[in-house]
Amino acid sequence: MLIDYLPILFFLAIAVGFACFAVVASSLLGQKKPSAAKQAPYECGMPTQGPTYMRIPIRYYIFAMLFILFDIEIVFLYPLAVVFKELKVFGFLAMAVFIAVLIIAYLYVWKKGALEWD
């Protein structure tokens, strides 16, 4: 039974090995010529204006987390759509309940004002 997972383990070992090799080779073979221009703060190709440290409002993070949450939940509809014909009525009801929960959650978030960008 565990022998079925051997190709996955093999692929994972190759991926980790390549990542480690790339980081070590880059640090050993790469040029190290620091200069004032390379050490300066850089943003969008233009010199920074004003303070370089700004507090970012918590609304930004909440908005980003909600986007990721709803995006991931929509991804879960794909497996249901693939086997929709085989599940028949149960699949339809499961998908309807899932979409209803998503809509209720979306309306709740909207009502709370978490999607307002001020």
pLDDT digits (tens, 9 = 90+) for 36-93: 877 776 667 676 677 767 788 888 888 888 889 888 888 888 888 888 888 889 888 9
Query: Chain centroid to CA 21: how far?
Result: 25
Pair (61, 25) in one structural domain: no
User: Does residue 76 lie in a domain region?
Assistant: yes
Domain span at 20: 1-29
From 13-27, 41-55, 72-86, 99-113, the region with the lowest mean pLDDT: 41-55
Pair (75, 23) in one structural domain: no
Contact by Cβ (8 Å): 54, 43: no
With both helix axes pointing from N to C terminus, report the angle between 58-75 and 84-112 in degrees, rounded to the nearest 10. 170
User: Does residue 17 lie in a domain region?
Assistant: yes
Pair (61, 112) in one structural domain: yes
